[in-house]
Homo-oligomer: A and B are copies of this chain.
Amino acid sequence: MDSHVASLRSALGDDALVTDPAAMEPYRRDRALDPDAGVPLAVVLPETTAQVQAAIRWAAEHRVPVTPRGAGTGLSGGATAVHGGIVLSTERMRAIAVDPVTRMATVQPGLLNAEVKAAAAAHGLWYPPDPASFEICSIGGNAATNAGGLCCVKYGVTADYILGAEVVLADGRAVRVGGPRLKDVAGLSMLDLFVGSEGTLGVITELTLRLLPAPPPPRTVVAWFDDTEGAAAAVQQIASRIRPSMLEYMDRIAVNAVEDVLGAGLHRDAAALVVARSDDQHPDGAEIAVMLDALTAHGAREAFEAPDPEAGERFAHARRIAIPAVERLGPLLLEDVGVSLPRFGELVAGVEAIARDRDVTIAFIAHAGDGNTHPLVVCDPADPSRNERARLAYGEIMDLAIRLGGTITGEHGVGRLKRPWLAAQIGDDLLDISLRVKRALDPDGILNPGTIFAADDTAPTRRGQSA
């Protein structure tokens, strides 16, 4: 092992390598806190594509697993270190160039999402994708998971803003896929294949992002419901008629957790809070009227437009901090299931039933407008029985989403935590051809083994057997 690492060190330089166990510790897991994370041989901290290539070439030569890593804010265990592998963190790859003429940015993967937004805003431009973690998550991680956020309901997901990428392949070659072109259909859509592949097909070392002109100021609508069914029905009516720029949902548990933090006077007794936005500029405010009508028609106790942008932002902020607020109740198993809107009410009710049956606390928050939900299953490290019930509930929620024709993950990725449910959602045949693509691009199975695919299925021995 030591001679292996020595050759890696000489290929990369001292500065780019961490082997001290204490210093490596923070690189072993993402926010899914996988208890089974391995101890890597080394953490690699490249600054350049050439260094990424050198690390991957070394790994390919020695058949050492590579765990690519952005900022480590992943929630599905997609950046869990493998014993004896290397962790490749892109945190030092932080260059960015914004071209206001073409409205594009060229960025290295280690920049935070918020830094990309800020660099764009400095030119009066806008990078829309906004995971709730946008201040701490990396743009490379966003691309690797095809991250979503609050604005997706109108403005789409990360993939919609990626025009091109430089990717280091499993054999160390670097390829450019796509580029600064708004329309390009030359060859297979390999760019889209790399986006969202969670580091299993290559390491993204540069991105070309599409930017938009600065968005018009939003108007915010807030509604409180005494029942979740009414809130779900109102959400569906809004989403079917207009394109809100945000359409969020929080249940009573989430509202109370946020109110514990903010003390802002949120209604602790309400069953659900809906926060919606419109950035439509039509002078008659038609979208606001559609939203208020739908909320009232479905029995909102209160439904009103925020009187000013600051008041509106306070409600959006309340939604954004829901996950850390609920986390104060205990460590979370964080769901990311999605359904089409007519099934949203059934999902809410089903999750309530699971919480009751398993006697666990599950807060329910959602990017409701696109049917992407985050039931937050609260664990208790001091109570093994409760933890086990929480784990079972976590699986049952995915089973439920699949039964409802939904997805186990709308924006976080499969990682390791959701991998056991993938085949049940997509089917054995689609998993089979996905595995064939994985093996075609990473025949030795060194890239992020255990993520999306079972490590056994991508290991070369197994591959040889089934080829």
Interface residues of A (CB under 8 A from B): 100-104, 145-146, 148, 152-153, 156-157, 159-160, 169, 173, 175-177, 179-190, 192-193, 195-197, 200-201, 212-213, 216, 236, 239-243, 280-283, 338-342, 367, 370-372, 405-414, 418, 422, 425-427, 429-431, 433-434, 436-441, 452
Least distance between A287 CB and chain B CB atoms (Å) = 10
| Oligomer: number of copies | 2
User: Is A429 within 8 A of B173, CB to CB?
Assistant: yes
Kindly list chain B residues whose C-beta atoms are within 8 Å of the C-beta of A212: 243
A342 and B101 in contact (CB under 8 A), knowing A175-B429, A192-B193, A436-B441? yes
User: Is B101 within 8 A of A430, CB to CB?
Assistant: no
User: Is B197 within 8 A of A188, CB to CB?
Assistant: yes
10 contacts between A and B (CB under 8 A): A101-B342, A104-B340, A181-B406, A182-B370, A183-B370, A187-B414, A187-B431, A188-B196, A193-B437, A437-B437
Kindly list chain B residues whose C-beta atoms are within 8 Å of the C-beta of A367: 183
Main secondary structure of the interface of A (DSSP, over half): loop
Of A157, A175, A182, A370, the most chain B CB neighbours within 10 A belong to A182
Kindly list chain B residues whose C-beta atoms are within 8 Å of the C-beta of A408: 186
User: Is B338 within 8 A of A159, CB to CB?
Assistant: no
User: Is A181 within 8 A of B440, CB to CB?
Assistant: no
Kindly list chain B residues whose C-beta atoms are within 8 Å of the C-beta of A176: 427, 430
In the complex, besides A186-B408, A189-B196, 20 extra interface pairs with C-beta distance below 8 angstroms are: A152-B182, A176-B427, A181-B407, A182-B338, A182-B371, A183-B410, A184-B407, A184-B409, A185-B411, A185-B412, A186-B407, A186-B418, A186-B425, A187-B414, A187-B434, A192-B192, A280-B281, A281-B281, A283-B283, A437-B441
Kindly list chain B residues whose C-beta atoms are within 8 Å of the C-beta of A429: 169, 173, 175
A152 and B437 in contact (CB under 8 A), knowing A173-B429, A341-B102? no
User: Is B185 within 8 A of A413, CB to CB?
Assistant: yes
Least distance between A171 CB and chain B CB atoms (Å) = 10
Question: Within the assembled complex, what's the spacing in Å between the Cα atoms of A100 and B237?
Answer: 10
Question: Which chain B residue shows the least CB distance to A398?
Answer: B186
Question: Which chain B residue shows the least CB distance to A104?
Answer: B340
User: Is A437 within 8 A of B440, CB to CB?
Assistant: yes
Contact of A410 among B153, B181, B426 (CB under 8 A): B181
Kindly list chain B residues whose C-beta atoms are within 8 Å of the C-beta of A181: 338-340, 371, 406-407, 410
User: Is A184 within 8 A of B430, CB to CB?
Assistant: no
Kindly list chain B residues whose C-beta atoms are within 8 Å of the C-beta of A339: 181
Kindly list chain B residues whose C-beta atoms are within 8 Å of the C-beta of A188: 193, 196-197, 200-201, 434, 437-438, 452
User: Is A440 within 8 A of B430, CB to CB?
Assistant: no
Contact of A187 among B180, B283, B430 (CB under 8 A): B430
Kindly list chain B residues whose C-beta atoms are within 8 Å of the C-beta of A241: 213
Question: Which chain B residue shows the least CB distance to A156?
Answer: B160
User: Is A157 within 8 A of B175, CB to CB?
Assistant: no
Least distance between A193 CB and chain B CB atoms (Å) = 5
User: Is A342 within 8 A of B190, CB to CB?
Assistant: no
Question: Within the assembled complex, what's the spacing in Å between the Cα atoms of A446 and B342?
Answer: 41
User: Is A160 within 8 A of B157, CB to CB?
Assistant: no
Question: Within the assembled complex, what's the spacing in Å between the Cα atoms of A148 and B152?
Answer: 22
Kindly list chain B residues whose C-beta atoms are within 8 Å of the C-beta of A439: 440
Question: Which chain B residue shows the least CB distance to A216?
Answer: B282
Least distance between A381 CB and chain B CB atoms (Å) = 29
Question: Within the assembled complex, what's the spacing in Å between the Cα atoms of A212 and B243?
Answer: 8
Question: Within the assembled complex, what's the spacing in Å between the Cα atoms of A342 and B145?
Answer: 31
Question: Within the assembled complex, what's the spacing in Å between the Cα atoms of A409 and B411?
Answer: 31
Kindly list chain B residues whose C-beta atoms are within 8 Å of the C-beta of A104: 340
Least distance between A91 CB and chain B CB atoms (Å) = 23
Contact of A340 among B180, B240, B281, B437 (CB under 8 A): B180
User: Is A433 within 8 A of B440, CB to CB?
Assistant: yes
Kindly list chain B residues whose C-beta atoms are within 8 Å of the C-beta of A240: 100-103
Kindly list chain B residues whose C-beta atoms are within 8 Å of the C-beta of A192: 159, 189, 192-193
Question: Within the assembled complex, what's the spacing in Å between the Cα atoms of A197 and B182?
Answer: 18
Kindly list chain B residues whose C-beta atoms are within 8 Å of the C-beta of A148: 183, 185
User: Is A102 within 8 A of B426, CB to CB?
Assistant: no
Kindly list chain B residues whose C-beta atoms are within 8 Å of the C-beta of A159: 189, 192
